[in-house]
C-alpha cells in the first residue's frame, strides 16, 4: 500500500509545478505566459535607453561611448555656474540651485559638435544660455546651423515644460543667449555674427545673433579655448601619438588652463584626446574620399559631354562637305543635324 501511494504521488509533483506557473490564471496559454514574463524586460529596456540616450547621441562616429573634454567639463554644475557668472558678472545672487542643464550632447546638423544648454532662474527673468563649440575650421554657415539647432532646442524645451503652441495662452520662453566657442587659427574673428547680415545683408525679418568667444584667458571658457589651441599645436607635432595628449596636459597645466580638471582626469583626458584624433582622422578620410568621388564623377560627365560635342561637330562637318559637293541641299543637311538652316550655317561655316 505504501508503494502504491508513492506511485500515485509522483504525478502530483509535476502538476504542482504547473500550478505554480499558473498562479495568476488557472489556464494561461503559453504565449500569454511568455508575454507576462517578458513585460519586466521591456520596461527595463526602456529605462536603459533613457539613461544612455544622451551618450548614444554623442557617439555618432566612435565605436564606443566616448565623452569629450567639453562634455566632462560642463557636466559639473559648479563649472556651469562659474561659466554663467563670467558671462553675467552683474548677477551676483544666482546659486547652483538656479542652474538647470537642459541639453548636453555632441551633434549638430550632421557634424560633430559639442553643446551645452542651461536655464538659469525661473519665470520672466529666466535665461536660456546655449554654448556651442565650433570646429577649428571657420564655417560661414554657422548662423544658419545654429538657427536650425535653436528651433529644435526650443521645440524640445516647450515639450519638456509641457506647454502647447496651439493653446490660447502665450507660450512662456526664457530669454535666449547664443554663444560659439571658437579655437581655430582664423585671424580677425568677429565678436558677433548675424544670420540676417550673413545671408540677406541685414534685410531679413528673421535674425539670430551669436556671440563668438575666441580668446584664451583665465575664464573657464577662455581656459577651454586655450586647452584646444594647445592640443591643435601638439597634434601637428605628434599626430596620434600618446605624447600629443601628455604634452597637451603638461603645457596646459603650466599655462594655468583647466589645471584642477586635468590633474583629476588625466587618464580619461588622454583617452578622450586619442578618440578625438581618430574621430577627426575618420572624418577627414571620409571627406577626402567624397571629394575624390565627386571630382571623378565630374570628369566622367565632362568626358561624356566632350565626346557628345565632338560627335556633333564631326557630323556637322560631314554634312557641310556633302552640301559643298552638291550631294545634299543645305535644308536637308540642317534637318539631318536637327537644326534650322540659319543655325546650321553658323555651326558649319557655310555663311
Provide the whole-model pTM.
0.61
**pLDDT value, residue 200:** 96
- Structure confidence by residue, pLDDT tens digits, 144-166: 989 988 888 888 889 888 999 99
Query: What confidence tens digit (pLDDT) does each residue in 92-107 have?
Result: 999 999 999 886 554 4
Q: Locate cell 544658419: which residue?
A: 144
293-323 residue pLDDT tens: 777 776 666 666 666 676 777 778 878 877 7
CA dist., res. 224 & res. 215, Å (int): 10
Query: Among 203, 206, 228, 204, which residue's Cα sits nearest to residue 217?
Result: 228
CB-based contact 241:266 (threshold 8 Å)? no
Lookup: cell for 125 = 527673468
Mean pLDDT of the chain: 77
On whether the CB atoms of residues 213 and 221 are closer than 8 A, the answer is: yes
Percent over 70 (pLDDT), the chain: 69
Domain ranges, ordered by start, for the chain: 67-214
Q: Angle CA(109)–CA(226)–CA(189) in degrees, nearest 5?
A: 60
Strand order in the sheet with 127-133: 99-108, 111-120, 127-133, 175-181, 209-213, 192-194
Beta carbons of 101 and 117 less than 8 angstroms apart: yes
CA-based angle 180:182:183, to the nearest 5? 155
Q: Which residues are 112's β-sheet partners? A: 107
Q: Are 194 and 140 within 8 A, CB to CB?
A: no
Q: Is the pLDDT of residue 351 over 60?
A: yes
Amino acid at each position: 500500500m505504501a508503494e502504491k501511494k508513492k506511485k500515485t504521488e509522483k504525478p502530483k509533483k509535476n502538476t504542482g509545478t504547473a500550478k505554480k506557473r499558473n498562479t495568476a490564471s488557472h489556464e494561461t496559454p503559453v504565449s500569454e505566459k511568455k508575454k507576462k514574463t517578458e513585460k519586466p524586460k521591456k520596461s527595463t529596456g526602456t529605462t536603459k535607453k533613457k539613461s544612455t540616450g544622451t551618450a548614444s547621441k554623442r557617439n555618432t562616429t566612435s565605436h564606443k561611448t566616448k565623452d569629450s573634454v567639453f562634455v566632462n567639463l560642463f557636466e559639473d554644475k559648479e563649472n556651469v555656474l562659474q561659466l554663467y557668472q563670467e558671462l553675467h558678472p552683474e548677477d551676483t545672487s544666482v546659486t547652483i540651485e538656479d542652474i538647470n542643464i537642459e541639453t548636453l550632447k555632441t551633434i549638430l546638423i550632421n557634424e560633430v559638435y559639442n553643446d551645452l544648454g542651461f536655464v538659469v532662474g525661473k519665470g520672466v527673468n529666466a535665461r536660456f544660455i546655449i554654448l556651442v563649440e565650433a570646429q577649428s575650421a571657420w564655417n560661414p554657415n554657422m548662423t544658419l546651423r545654429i538657427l536650425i539647432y535653436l528651433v529644435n532646442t526650443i521645440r524640445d524645451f516647450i515639450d519638456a515644460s509641457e506647454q502647447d503652441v496651439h493653446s490660447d495662452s502665450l507660450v512662456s520662453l526664457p530669454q535666449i543667449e547664443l554663444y560659439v566657442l571658437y579655437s581655430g587659427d582664423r585671424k580677425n574673428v568677429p565678436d558677433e555674427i548675424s544670420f540676417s547680415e550673413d545671408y540677406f545683408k541685414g534685410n531679413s525679418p528673421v535674425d539670430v545673433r551669436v556671440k563668438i568667444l575666441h580668446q584664451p584667458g583665465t575664464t573657464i571658457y577662455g581656459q577651454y579655448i586655450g586647452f584646444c589651441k594647445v592640443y591643435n599645436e601638439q597634434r601637428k607635432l605628434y599626430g596620434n601619438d600618446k605624447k600629443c595628449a601628455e604634452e597637451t596636459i603638461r603645457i596646459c597645466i603650466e599655462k594655468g588652463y583647466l589645471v584642477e580638471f586635468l590633474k583629476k582626469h588625466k587618464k580619461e583626458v588622454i583617452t578622450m584626446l586619442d578618440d578625438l584624433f581618430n574621430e577627426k582622422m575618420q572624418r577627414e578620410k571620409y571627406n577626402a574620399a567624397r571629394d575624390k568621388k565627386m571630382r571623378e564623377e565630374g570628369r566622367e560627365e565632362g568626358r561624356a559631354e566632350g565626346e557628345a560635342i565632338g560627335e556633333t561637330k564631326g557630323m556637322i562637318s560631314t554634312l557641310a562637305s556633302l552640301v559643298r559637293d552638291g550631294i545634299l541641299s543645305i535644308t536637308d543637311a540642317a534637318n539631318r543635324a536637327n537644326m534650322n538652316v540659319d543655325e546650321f550655317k553658323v555651326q558649319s561655316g557655310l555663311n
